[in-house]
Amino acid sequence: MKLPCYLVRDLLPLYKDGVCDPQTAADLKEHLAGCESCRAALAALAAEPAARAVEAEKQRADAVALRLLRRRLVVRWIAIALAAAVLTLALLLGYRGWVGGQIRDIPADAIEEVVLREDGSLHAWLEGGLAYTTMSGVRAEVGGREAVFFTVGVSVWDSQVRALENLRNGLLKDRWYGASDLTILQGARDIEEVYFYPISRSEELDTLLRENNQSLSAAPDYASLLWTDDAT
């Protein structure tokens, strides 16, 4: 039986899978022997699973490659982020160490009051809102009177931190820092005068006192007289 091409092509999937009726399969085989276009159609049909398998394998390989690429990118970005964090921390610590060692003068007018308490301790009040990092004092004799020279300094870092805190508290209408109570000297009942000097002149004052055996005829011009014992 001679089969038309359109019918053969409809039956080719069944023929390829070997599920045709034997007589139909024989007719198809006979047709295919003499029809090049139908043979080509059968060959294409037979090649489809292999092509699909190849395409599926390619897609799988592409997916694996994409996952690996994403993983590498994530690892790279994490490494970059960690490196940036470490560098930032190192810079901050370096800046903190540098500015922490830079000590600024606090002006004499920032000292609000000097008080000799009943327990014999000498105290000063530092203006509210100001920070201080270091304080020192030294006894000396000035014009025959017992005196103490003291100074207060603030690091650049502490000054900046306190400024930010004051700004925050002022904007939030929370509170301002109160004045700081500075203990200048214990056992100061014999002190008759208190001088304040800039911390930047500490070395100069130390040299002056050492060269004069802690006894000066007059206080240096950079020292401000803040308190005297009026009873003496």
| pLDDT given at position 194 | 95
pTM of the model: 0.52
Look at residue 51 and tell me whether its pLDDT is greater than 60: no
Query: Which is more confidently placed, 25 or 168?
Result: 25
Which stretches of the chain are assigned E, i.e. beta strand?
103-105, 111-116, 122-126, 134-142, 145-155, 180-185, 193-196, 215-216, 224-228
pLDDT at 52: 64
Q: DSSP character for 134?
A: E
Cα(130)–Cα(124) distance, integer angstroms: 14
- What pLDDT is attached to residue 164? 55
Angle at 90 between CA 84 and CA 94, to 5 degrees: 145
Residue 168 confidence (pLDDT) above 60: no
